[in-house]
Chains A and B, each alone.
Chain A
Amino acid sequence: MQHLDPDRLVLLALSEESEELTESDHLERCAGCRHDIASLREVAELGAESQELRDLPAPPERVWDAIEAGVARTAKPAVTAPVVSLADHRHRRPRRRWAPLVAAAAAAVLAVAGTVAFDRFAGQRAERSVAARATLTPLPTVSADASGRVRVLTDGALEIDVRNLPLTTGFHEVWLLDPDDPTKMVAIGNLSGSRQDVLPVPPGTDLNRFRLVDVSDEPHDGDATHSGKSLLRGTLTS
């Protein structure tokens, strides 16, 4: 039995040509060719319909933001080194609370990821994944459209993205504060003035303790301590 030629099947499926009598006869008798042509017709129809799917608009960025937030909520601690769990901390430390900060800290679910910089000691390159992240919000004295986002990677890199920070005659500096004792803090580094920066978190920093990210306005006064002028804050969660 002479089956229909593949080129011919395509032409018929696209309705570019119509069946000859001998072809109709064959199709009636041959389930294989019938199946082929039915499949190709279906594909041709779907292909024609797919025109409206070209250049589908990308979903708005808020969808991705929501995905990131959802993923962050489900994240397990991604660190390989011994993790200082929050539960341990709570157990060990008396609850000294520092009122202005606690409101923000308490609102967040704290399940933070541990100590930075184990890979260096482990002597192997761990995968870079996110150990903790924070959304920074402006303090009341700062314009409400100022904002920021922070991600701390397992290798200790702190990625920060800030928007609409007030202008400064000095510079903007990033800190990690201990919300339970806000006189204790780690200076992370200053922002370059571009929107995004990557700063190194000192190896050994306990992100469970120093979990409050703070961006301050620092004058050029040669005083390395915090100026007391905080602009943005947010609590790290894993």
Chain B
Amino acid sequence: MSSDDELAERLRSGDEKALRTAYERHGAAVLYLAQRLLGNRADAEDVTQLTFVAAWTGRDGYDPQRGTILSWLLGIARRKVVDRLRSAARDERVTETVRTQLSPAAAPETPERIVDRLIVADELGRLPDEQRRSLELAFFDDLTHPQIAAMTGLPLGTVKSHIRRGMASLRRRWEVDGAAFGSRSAGPSRAL
């Protein structure tokens, strides 16, 4: 699997296969975000399409220093969602209703939260196998360190270090890619 940097390089050089790779890697996450925000499958698929076409035409604007390809794509997707909601609002003249529905207080979940979750899930998938496995047992199955050690047959000290390192990686990624997300895409997305 090629790194983000390499993929970015290929994208910038106009390699359409790189777009396909980015889509295979992150298309599902973009669709998930769009569907969560729009609540409508057909619109979500449209937004996914618009996102990747915009990523292609705007590929020169992607800066690997500022975040991963995933967070860049999710940022584009959020702007497309906002555009879509605005045009819907214009069409139906229900701007006020939409805004109310979308205010953080009323929404069960903020876009930031969904994005952060996607980012953390992506990073979890990138961790070395044993680290990932240990963390999944802790997160999903709520197992304690000793239980994980018993389950995996790894020494307790190893489990501890896997979990500590894994958590540190997730945290780093989240702080770089997730938390910074909101400020990076200030602009239209703020409305959401």
Contacts and interface: CB of A to CB of B under 8 A. Distances in A.
B45 A10 contact: no
Interface stretch (B75-83, B86-94, B96-104, B163-171): B163-171
A59 B135 CA distance: 27
Interface in A13-57: 13-14, 16, 39-40, 42-44, 46-51, 53-54, 56-57
Contacts of B125: 54
Given A39-B174, A53-B117, A59-B28, 20 more contacts: A7-B160, A10-B163, A16-B138, A16-B144, A39-B175, A46-B117, A46-B170, A46-B178, A48-B139, A50-B120, A54-B125, A63-B31, A63-B45, A66-B49, A67-B53, A67-B56, A74-B53, A127-B15, A129-B14, A130-B16
Nearest to B10: A127
Interface of B: 13-16, 19-20, 23-24, 27-29, 31-32, 45, 48-50, 52-53, 56-57, 116-118, 120-121, 124-125, 135-136, 138-140, 144-145, 160, 163-164, 167-168, 170-171, 174-175, 178
- Point out which of A7, A59, A78 has the most chain B C-beta atoms below 10 A from its C-beta: A59
B14 A7 contact: no
A170 interface: no
B144 A51 contact: no
B145 A16 contact: yes
A182 B31 CA distance: 44
A119 to B, nearest CB: 15
A60 interface: yes
Nearest to B178: A46
A64 B14 CA distance: 17
A70 interface: yes
Given A47-B120, A47-B124, A50-B124, A63 B167 contact: no
Contact of A59 (B48, B56, B120): B48
The 6 lowest CB-CB distance pairs between A and B, nearest first, are: A70-B53, A50-B121, A56-B28, A53-B121, A46-B120, A66-B49
B29 A42 contact: no
A40 B56 contact: no
A63 B164 contact: no
Given A11-B145, A16-B145, A64-B23, A51 B140 contact: yes
B13 A57 contact: no
A54 B121 contact: yes
Contacts of B145: 11, 16
A7 B121 contact: no
Interface string A68-95: 0011001000100000000000000000
Given A58-B28, A129-B15, A47 B170 contact: yes
Contacts of A7: 160, 164
B27 A59 contact: yes
22 contacts: A11-B145, A13-B167, A16-B145, A40-B167, A42-B174, A44-B139, A46-B170, A47-B170, A48-B139, A49-B117, A50-B120, A57-B28, A60-B45, A63-B31, A64-B23, A67-B49, A70-B50, A70-B53, A71-B56, A127-B15, A129-B14, A129-B16
A93 to B, nearest CB: 31
A166 interface: no
B174 A46 contact: yes
Contacts of B167: 10, 13, 40, 43-44
